[in-house]
Chain A
Amino acid sequence: MTHSVDQAIRIKELTYRWPRQCADCLAISHFAVAHGERVFLHGPSGSGKSTLLALLGGVALPQTGRIELLGQPLTALSAHARDRFRADHVGFVFQQFNLLPWLSARDNVLLPCIFSTRRRERAGDPQQAAARLLTHLDLAPALWQKPAAELSVGQQQRVAAARALIGQPGILIADEPTSALDAPRQQGFIDLLLAETAAANAALLFVSHDIRLAAHFDRTVALADVNCAATEAAT
């Protein structure tokens, strides 16, 4: 059990079925991501990647099994406590539309500090932390005060990454964050994300159906290899 404390993400004997579905969507006997580890998880469309992220976010609850994040059994917490845990410890970047369009880029980055005292405290001076992250992620200061809706998709994704990173959450979850970008920009964004998560010593679970993006990660996992439900369905 001492081992589990080293794990950022640990899943055991998990099964999950969406409401009113007749088959399990996920059945994972074991899956883990270590602290600071950067994992590329891939699988075809509809294979349950986003479902897994919903479970890790604590938004959905598995029917059986156990999910531990940073040593905390998520499945033992109340819905409200899971929401708090997510605010404190997990940063998300999604495929698109990550930002509140009516807030400026900088205010979007600051959002986690509003929702989580822990992340506000860990950010030190949140304004400075936001400025530092935006600079590292290559966003010109002229854009910081602009409403998010006026940024290009690539700029928006970088703002989203800065937001996921502010206040140093232990876990970063990215769900196809590059699929709205053109090919040359994809690798650039991934490199920035990898560098920043490494600097923050956060674990990164990067999910995509595009195996070509896997190059610079510590480890690559095919969802089909850990998800028995998929193999059952396939056979």
Chain B
Amino acid sequence: MRAVLLLALKSAWARRLTLGIALVAIALASALLLAVERVRSDARASFTQSVSAVDLVVGARSGAVQLMLYAVFHSGSATNNMRWESFEALATHPAVEWAVPLSLGDGHRGFPVLGTSAAYFDRLRYGDRQALTFSAGKPFAEVFEAVLGSEVAAQLGYRPGDHITLSHGMAELGPEHADKPFTVVGILAPTGTPVDRTVHVDLAAISAIHLDWAGGAPLPGLAIPAEQVRKFDLQPQEITAMLIGLKSRRDVFRLQRHINGYRGEPLLAVMPGVALDELWQTLATVEQTLLALSALVVAVALAGLTATLLAGLNERRRELAILRALGAGPREIFMMLTVEGLLVTALGVLLGAALLAAGIVALGPLLREYGVHLALRPPTASEWGLVVSILTTGLLASLVPGWRAWRISLADGLTPRN
């Protein structure tokens, strides 16, 4: 038996070109399937990890998913702001342990700028309730100081002490707040969350750079120099959203009801986990469709393998007859073909996994811009599940040529006929 398997390997090596093509097809198909699954699960993980200690996200009334998307992931934009008085009222609510304001809308070279309070760095948790840490510098203390997410600093090559200017809106070439440069005072350690891609400034700075602006453009004839902004009241009128941490999680529903029925203005409070579940539900059909399509592509690739092996079999009738004459039984001939197919499948899946790893390295940074963090890591249980089902299907696909070879070797005996 071992002898036959060894010969099967040598025989397969002799046909490496045709088998290689089948193998590459399987590799590409498995890479696709595994990539869909990986993006699906890692997107969930990275979204869920972004808000691990936040009990409620509050903003002007809109959709729960929409609120989450712009408040936490800085994608999309708020249709309405919430009033500063509402923030103050909620922040001092007896059930609230901490509250952090969020003000979005400006950008720096494509990265979102978040106006917030220094408490943000103490309170926000990511992943498994880990606190933010600084890889360099410290939190902002002055109006025109900025703290950069790790990726902003890495991509743009900033260090503490560098000066940056913000642009109005997220467009890379939006109008600049060039007259009011910021000093980089701190750089955060990588978190694998949207924090990495955010420029953090004091909430007061957002007011300051817009003092002499109205309706998205500088007011003509009114230019307030940076040194003089301190003379103005930098308390904002409005913020985009706020994050709330509670003293006790038991109060979460009560406070949510309180906020959703807030008298001062229409507000919406969402629990991040619930909102994300809602998001996954809306995405579920898309995910399922993508998975099904990729599974179909794998099936096509494996059908290609069956076709390749079957086509090759006709030219190998002589080989089979020789092996028979040497003492191989139909069972061994069957094994030989089946093992060959299974081997090609296994190598294909292996190559596919390698392609996926290469893809993650190459395309990871691009996907990170969309808040999806793909990391090189061992396969998850569901990925193993996919690998096993590809191998099982590959085995089934190889049984066909195996069975055919069995039939041929019985019919031909020692003299191959064509």
Contacts and interface: CB of A to CB of B under 8 A. Distances in A.
Interface stretch (B6-14, B177-185, B202-210): B6-14
A88 B325 contact: no
Interface string B308-331: 000000000011011011111111
B333 to A, nearest CB: 10
Given A50-B415, A57-B413, A57-B414, A100 B322 contact: yes
B3 interface: yes
A114 B328 CA distance: 11
A208 B3 CA distance: 32
Contacts of B329: 79-80, 83
Nearest to B332: A83
A83 B10 CA distance: 22
Nearest to B416: A97
Contact of A86 (B7, B327, B331): B327
B381 to A, nearest CB: 41
Given A99-B322, A100-B7, A102-B10, A175 B415 contact: yes
A86 B325 contact: yes
A112 interface: yes
A54 interface: yes
A54 B413 contact: yes
A88 B324 contact: no
A87 B10 contact: no
Interface in A76-92: 79-80, 83-84, 86-88, 92
Contacts of A92: 325, 414
10 contacts: A50-B414, A79-B329, A80-B329, A86-B327, A94-B321, A94-B414, A94-B415, A102-B11, A112-B327, A175-B415
Nearest to A91: B325
Interface of B: 3, 6-7, 10-11, 13-14, 318-319, 321-322, 324-331, 413-416
B414 A112 contact: no
B10 A57 contact: no
A57 B325 contact: yes
Nearest to B317: A97
B413 A59 contact: yes
B314 to A, nearest CB: 14
Interface residues of A, number: 28
A140 B326 CA distance: 25
Contacts of A53: 414
Nearest to A80: B329
Interface in A56-110: 57, 59-60, 79-80, 83-84, 86-88, 92, 94, 97-103
B417 to A, nearest CB: 10
Interface string A103-146: 10000000110111000000000000000000000000000000
Contacts of B10: 102-103
A100 B325 contact: no
A111 B321 CA distance: 14
Most buried by B among A83, A98, A175: A83
B14 A111 contact: no
Interface of A: 50, 53-54, 57, 59-60, 79-80, 83-84, 86-88, 92, 94, 97-103, 111-112, 114-116, 175
B14 A54 contact: no
Given A99-B322, A100-B319, A116 B413 contact: no
Contacts of A79: 329-330
A54 B415 contact: yes
A46 to B, nearest CB: 13
Nearest to B319: A100
Contacts of A59: 324, 413-414
Contacts of A87: 326-327
Given A50-B415, A54-B413, A115 B326 contact: yes
A98 B322 contact: yes
A83 B318 contact: no
A216 B327 CA distance: 30
A54 B414 contact: yes
A83 B327 contact: yes
A90 to B, nearest CB: 8
A54 B14 CA distance: 29
A136 B269 CA distance: 94
Contacts of A80: 329, 331
A86 B413 CA distance: 12
Contact of B3 (A83, A97, A114): A114
What 4 pairs across the A-B complex have the smallest Cβ distances?
A87-B327, A102-B14, A59-B413, A114-B3
Nearest to B410: A59
Contacts of A114: 3, 6-7
Contacts of B14: 101-102
Given A53-B414, A86-B325, 4 more contacts: A57-B414, A92-B414, A94-B325, A175-B415
A114 B321 CA distance: 16
B415 A83 contact: no
Contacts of B7: 100, 114
Contacts of B415: 50, 54, 94, 175
Nearest to A50: B415
A92 B416 CA distance: 14
A187 to B, nearest CB: 24
Nearest to A97: B318
